[in-house]
Structure 1
Amino acid sequence: METPLLDVQHLKTYFPVRKGILMRRAGWVKAVDDVSLTIREGETLGLVGESGCGKSTIGKTIVRLLKPTAGRILFQGTDISNLSEHRLRPLRPGIQMVFQDPADSLNQRMSVGQIVAEPYLIHRIGTPAERRDRVRALLDRVGLPPNAIDRFPFEFSGGQRQRIGIARALALNPKLLILDEPVSALDVSVQSQVLNLLLDLQEERKLSYLFIAHDLAVVKHISDRVAVMYLGKIVETAPSEEIYKNPKHAYTKALISAIPEPDPAKKNNARPLPGDVPSPIDPPAGSAFGHRIGHPAYEQSIGIDLTPVEIAMSHFVAPDPCALEADDLLQAQQAANRRTS
């Protein structure tokens, strides 16, 4: 079997909660809680879920902006989860990140040329003249004018600033880009331009993407597979077409039903979920989704391993009695039993 470009195994990223005058640790925010996922070369994995579910934390942990609490992050077969900064530096060019808000992720005091050339300086690549030529070529490729190199980020629109961020991420010829809601802050017309640019770059450079978003319509357009996340855990993963046509988990169904319908004559089938998302500081012992909606089967979910299992070809779903139809639950339970036997 082909080794994945990225293989995340049982990843946990917790943040301490401190209280009192002495700021002693009183608990943990379980932002990412036992997440496993893979990305193959040239593939785009869409990661979707509500705000605060831990999507961005996964991305920042993969690029090691955050240190994982537990689990493994294998990039091209190398475990980078606990490498020191010194040992991690030669591997950093292979994984780069494009952030959600280009206004905040770009240094407003640096020119565009300085921003895009910074990776070359850090890794000591090329002479000043060679770096400037490379920067010009990158800016041209992402659709920015030649004079952009000597201008500053605040002189550009939101879409142009995101193109600067993409150019910076491409500077070191990465294999994997973590795209953290790269179009959510942009106008709809600009979103399509940036998405098309990302698709073209992927084909040209054989890039792999982890595309983090909360807009399922955008994710469907760009992703090969989709992983659905709820309160720090993956609850369903499937090929893009499959998950939109045949969602299994009730939370996935609710997200898909909330996609706006462009035809005003068609009925809106949105299914608002009752209740509130449980706190990641004190998550429920059983199904977090069942706890939220007050499902009668919640007590049955306590103590059950809700790690997603394969119920159809490449279609994984958590065996959650609070979120699956009877037939799907039976399939999932049988798959879970085979896994443990």
Structure 2
Amino acid sequence: MSDLLEVNDLKMHFPVRGGITMKQVGSVKAVDGVSFTVKPGETLGLVGESGCGKSTLGKCLLRLYEPTAGQIDLEGRDITRMSQAKLRPLRKDIQMMFQDPAESLNSRFSVRQIVREPLDIQKIGTRKERDAMVEDLLEKVGLPRSAADKFPFEFSGGQRQRIGVARAIALNPKMLVLDEPVSALDVSVQSQVLNLLVDLQKELNMAYIFIAHDLAVVKHISDRVAVMYLGKIVELADSDVIYHSPRHGYTKALLSAIPHADPSYEKNRIRLEGEVPSPIDPPKGSAFGHRINHPRYDETVGMDMKLVEIASGHWVAADPCSLTEEDWQKAKALVSA
């Protein structure tokens, strides 16, 4: 099966300006050399701490940010620097759902106007046909047709997120970028929205990039999981493999922080010392090794810590500060090959 989306060495560096002349004095390396693929109908979970670059990456994929470098191919077409005029008809194939439904829905627009807007922009059908499509979409996401003539403030958080889902699927996209779509909702509502997303994916055969910091949620919905740390992907594998056989030290620490339903369950929590390095001035070597003051950090300065396939379909950064000695020897051999 060919890839729906292919991302190669994507970078998003934001300029930092200072002084009287506001000259650029540095850059925030929010996304710093990310590569991955997504197949039709697949869900790729994207996890990591706040500030690791997950949301920035998602916005780059939709060209809401103009990437500094790298390439984004959508069904074999390079959209990285495509003009807005050429990109507009392709936008129907990849849509985004935002984290906060209260902020992402225009409070001055009715639900009908909000959901119909993508249809208006793409000039799909007549006005009457578009209105009918809006009501059908609302029913599909579990809202009554009468909701079309109300305003976002008249709905609960979970209902507003359903409106966001309706807007995102209005153009029958091939892929949705879901930026923490349930983190602003009550726990009881989260499962309802997640189940809705799973049902819609099966019905419409959409691919998802599911951005979240809650690893339990990601496990529930993802086929594969990519772990980000300081703008880079440090581990990528099938969901079951990531959760049962993590290789990278940062992934292990994240998984150890997942709460367990049984209070008597004794878990070996891995507590990371130190602070996450600044993306303005990242370490010259292993960012994770720098954080935990690893004794092998110095040898990673200038080292190519690219992702290597340490097992079938299991990719991990070749970093001696983050791997067991056995895994590091495998990774080093793969880098040298």
- Same-fold call, TM > 0.5? yes
After TM superposition, the structure 1 = structure 2 runs for residues 228-243 of structure 1, keeping only pairs within 5 Å, are 228-243=227-242
Identity of aligned residues (%): 64
Aligned to 2:198: 199
Aligned to 2:49: 50
Distance 1:152 1:268 in 2: 46
After TM superposition, the structure 1 = structure 2 runs for residues 116-155 of structure 1, keeping only pairs within 5 Å, are 116-155=115-154
After TM superposition, the structure 1 = structure 2 runs for residues 178-217 of structure 1, keeping only pairs within 5 Å, are 178-217=177-216
What secondary structure does 1:324 align onto? coil
Distance 2:17 2:155 in 1: 41
Contact 1:236 1:317 in 2 (8 A): yes
Contact 2:136 2:145 in 1 (8 A): no
What secondary structure does 1:199 align onto? helix
Distance 2:305 2:245 in 1: 20
Which consecutive unaligned segments of at least 5 residues does structure 2 have?
none
What secondary structure does 2:276 align onto? coil
* TM-score between the two structures when normalised by the length of structure 1: 0.98
After TM superposition, the structure 1 = structure 2 runs for residues 207-286 of structure 1, keeping only pairs within 5 Å, are 207-286=206-285
What secondary structure does 1:143 align onto? coil
Residues 31-78 of structure 1: per-residue CA shift (max 9 Å, x gap): 000000110011000000000000000000000100000000000000
Distance 2:188 2:313 in 1: 33
Aligned residue identity for 2:302? G
Root-mean-square deviation (Å): 0.7
What secondary structure does 2:32 align onto? strand
Aligned residue identity for 1:290? G
Contact 1:3 1:77 in 2 (8 A): no
Shift of 1:304: 1.1
Shift of 1:21: 2.1
What secondary structure does 1:50 align onto? coil
Shift of 1:272: 1.5
Aligned to 1:91: 90
Contact 1:55 1:212 in 2 (8 A): yes
2:76 equivalent to 1:111: no
What secondary structure does 1:27 align onto? strand
- How many correspondences in the alignment? 337
Residues 158-214 of structure 1: per-residue CA shift (max 9 Å, x gap): 111111111001011100000000001111111100010000000000000000000
Aligned to 2:163: 164
What secondary structure does 2:277 align onto? coil
Distance 1:153 1:321 in 2: 51
Distance 1:307 1:92 in 2: 31
Aligned to 1:311: 310
Aligned to 2:38: 39
What secondary structure does 1:163 align onto? helix
What secondary structure does 2:299 align onto? helix
Distance 1:270 1:155 in 2: 43
Distance 1:232 1:272 in 2: 21
Distance 2:82 2:258 in 1: 41
What secondary structure does 2:52 align onto? coil
Aligned to 1:328: 327
What secondary structure does 1:116 align onto? helix
Contact 1:258 1:269 in 2 (8 A): no
Which consecutive unaligned segments of at least 5 residues does structure 1 have?
none
Shift of 1:307: 1.2
Aligned residue identity for 1:115? I
Residues 230-279 of structure 1: per-residue CA shift (max 9 Å, x gap): 00000000100011000000000000000001100111322111000000
Residues 109-155 of structure 1: per-residue CA shift (max 9 Å, x gap): 00000000001111111111101100000000000122110000011
Aligned residue identity for 1:110? F
Aligned to 1:20: 19
Residues 292-320 of structure 1: per-residue CA shift (max 9 Å, x gap): 11000001111111111001010000010
Contact 1:290 1:298 in 2 (8 A): yes
Shift of 1:23: 1.2
What secondary structure does 1:264 align onto? coil
Contact 1:13 1:30 in 2 (8 A): yes
Distance 1:238 1:123 in 2: 36
Distance 2:206 2:166 in 1: 14
Aligned residue identity for 1:291? H
